Each structure stands twice: as structure tokens, then as C-alpha cells.
Amino acid sequence: MQLLDGKKVSQAVKLELKGQVAALIDSNKRAPHLAAILVGSNGASETYVASKIKNCEEIGFKSSLFRFSENVEENELLETIKKLNVDESIDGILVQLPLPKHIKESSVINLINPNKDVDGFHPVSTGKMTLGLPSFIPATPYGIMLMLEHYNIETSGKNAVVIGRSNIVGRPMSILLSQDREYGNCTVTVCHSRTKNLKEKCLEADIVIAALGKPGFLTADMVKENAVVIDVGITRVADQTKKTGFSIKGDVDFENVASKCSFITPVPGGVGLMTIAALLKNTYEAYLTHLK
Ligand code: NAP
């Protein structure tokens, strides 16, 4: 079994970006600039946004955080996005999800200028990605693709099972893996809460992507020998032995599954770090198009 080390791979991605940015700044160009919008004070969202901003700083990107209270009016958010859309100093706009119930996520996401849609959630990005055209790819599936590439994992002709069909993880992941592209060409089965015989489907999979948000869901009896297992899940589980009062659990019963796998991602230290690396890559791509 080999660990797919998100720390190592994300560091490599970030190091490359850092060098590219340093070279551009040496030639008197401005730094790439990411705008992050955070609504409310959800602990996990706060942590993710703080980490994205810290990572921007580490590699020489500029970042701006726009914070709003939990009860902000939708219109105020939309007005902020309109301003960021036309602000030439901003390359990428990310809105940390989930948003409070009274705000329609699609109204917010769909207003983002597709040229600054570094999270890749805008319908234009989704459409282009689906057609195999150059586009921003949602950061988590993109990060997973970078991981497969880094470890040169054979995907062509393999059976892949993606558990979860959300617009931000499962659905785009299934599309990418099924496309005629490098690290694609899989035969993909998308599973969800209505799927019957999920265990049997997983047992046929050479590659399993677990993205459902149920800690420890994928157990050893659901995984065939030498499978590649990618754990997307991040759930906070109460843990009094930790200072924070919680620990982070993935969707895979890592302890028992790992020994059966050819490759597996740990949680933490796997997909989460790759997601941030992919977001930075998208921001850099947006920046390059804005420089032209
Ligand atoms: P989501 O929107 O809640 O979607 C979950 C999906 O899992 C849905 O399609 C749901 O099916 C399916 N599902 C739920 N229970 C199931 C079951 N028992 N059997 C089969 N399928 C089931 O979640 P998400 O946003 O995609 O996120 C999934 C997980 O990934 C969460 O833990 C989240 O925190 C994590 N995540 C991690 C990263 C990262 O960077 N590592 C990034 C994003 C998300 P239905 O469609 O039928 O409801």
C-alpha cells in the first residue's frame, strides 16, 4: 500500500506556483489576487477560508477577505460580487459554502464573473468542463486529478465508483474520470443515497472516490484487493482527547481499508490539501488571462 500524500503533492504544486509568481513580480507584474467571501461564523468555514488565505500568502498571492454576518441580506452579497467582478485588481472570487438558508446559493454563484470563477461552480465552468473545453475545474476534483497525475496512477479502462453526486465534488469527479483525457477513460458508476447494492458496486471498482460525508462509511468488506481509494470526506466528530473538542474523520475506515489498497489518501493530509493547491492553480490561471 502506498499513501497518496496530499502534503507532499500540494507542496510541490505550491512551490511551482511560488516560483512562477516570483518570476512575474521580478518582471514588474502585479501578484495574483484572490477575493474570498465568508458569511457567518461556521467553525469549519472559518478554518477553510483562513487556510486558503494563509496559502495565498505563502506563495506570494494577494488575498482579500470580505466577511459578512450570518444575517446579511442576499442583495448586499450580490452587490459585493458585482463590484469584485469588474475590479481589475481581482483575479479570482470564491464564496465559501454553505451559505445561510435565506440566501440562494445559485443566485450568488451564478453572478460571479465566469473569468474569475476559480471555484469552478458557475454554470459556464460546469458546461465547459463537461464538454472537455478549457475551464476552471472545481477545486476538489481538480486536486484529485493532480494527485492521480503526480503518482501516475493508471486510470484508463478501469472501473471507478464515485460515491456522492454533489455539484462540487461527486458529479464533476465522475465526469472527469469518464472523459477521454489523461487520468480519465474510466468506466464510472455514480452512487448516491438511493443506490441499491452499493457494496457490490464498490467491490467491482478499481478506483473508489468516497465523497458522501459519512465518517468511516467505506469499510474493508466493500473494497477489492489493490483498489485505489480516494477519501474526500471531512467530518468533525466530537473527540474530548483533542484540544479543539473534535477530530476530522474521512468517509473511509482507513485503519481497516488501507492494507487492501494499492494507493489510499489519508484524512487529514490527503484531498483537503490538494483542494487548496488546485484553487491556487485556478487563481493563477485566471491571473494569466487577466494579464493579457
Ligand atoms: P453533499 O452535497 O452533502 O453530497 C453528499 C452526496 O453523498 C450526495 O450525493 C448524497 O446522495 C450522497 N450520499 C449520502 N449518503 C449516502 C449513502 N449512505 N450512500 C450513498 N451515497 C450517499 O456533500 P459534498 O459537498 O459533496 O461533500 C461530501 C464530503 O466531502 C463531505 O464530508 C464534505 O465535507 C467533504 N468535502 C471535502 C472537501 C475536501 O477538500 N477534502 C471538499 C468538499 C467537500 P443524494 O444526492 O442522494 O442525497
Residue 195 Cβ inside 6 Å of ligand 1? The answer reads yes
Looking at the CA of residue 267, tell me the nearest atom of ligand 1. Answer: 41
Looking at the CA of residue 169, tell me the nearest atom of ligand 1. Answer: 26
What do you get for the CA distance between the two ends of the chain, in Å? 45
Q: What is the pTM of this model?
A: 0.97
CATH number for 139-272 (one of 3.40.50.360, 3.40.50.720, 1.10.3720.10, 3.30.470.20): it is: 3.40.50.720
Give the Å distance between the CA of 174 and the centre of ligand 1.
Answer: 13
- Bridge partners, 188 (sequence order): 160
Residue numbers annotated as active site: 52, 96, 119
- CB atoms near residue 14 (< 10 Å): 18
The 10s digit of each residue's pLDDT in 41-75 is 999 999 999 999 999 999 999 999 999 999 999 99
* CATH of region 31-114: 3.40.50.10860
Report which of 219, 234, 120, 124 is spatially closest to residue 173, judged by C-alpha positions. Answer: 120
The pLDDT value given to residue 53: 98
Task: Quote the cell numbers at residue 220.
Answer: 474493508
Mean pLDDT split into 10-residue runs, the chain, 292 residues: 98 98 96 98 94 98 98 98 98 97 98 98 98 97 98 98 98 98 98 98 98 98 98 96 95 98 98 98 97 81
* Measured distance CA(32)–CA(34) in Å, rounded: 7
Q: Do domains 31-114 and 139-272 have the same CATH topology?
A: yes
The pLDDT value given to residue 169: 98
* Measured distance CA(98)–CA(167) in Å, rounded: 13
Top mutation candidate among 119, 142, 166 for ligand 1, by most atoms within 8 Å of CB: 166
Spatial CB neighbours of 176, under 8 Å, sequence gap ≥ 6: 129, 137, 141, 145, 184
| Cβ 115 vs Cβ 290: under 8 Å | yes
Domain map (residue ranges) of the chain = 31-114, 139-272
Give the Å distance between the CA of 216 and the centre of ligand 1.
Answer: 13
Residue 208 Cβ inside 6 Å of ligand 1? The answer reads no
Spatial CB neighbours of 29, under 8 Å, sequence gap ≥ 6: 291
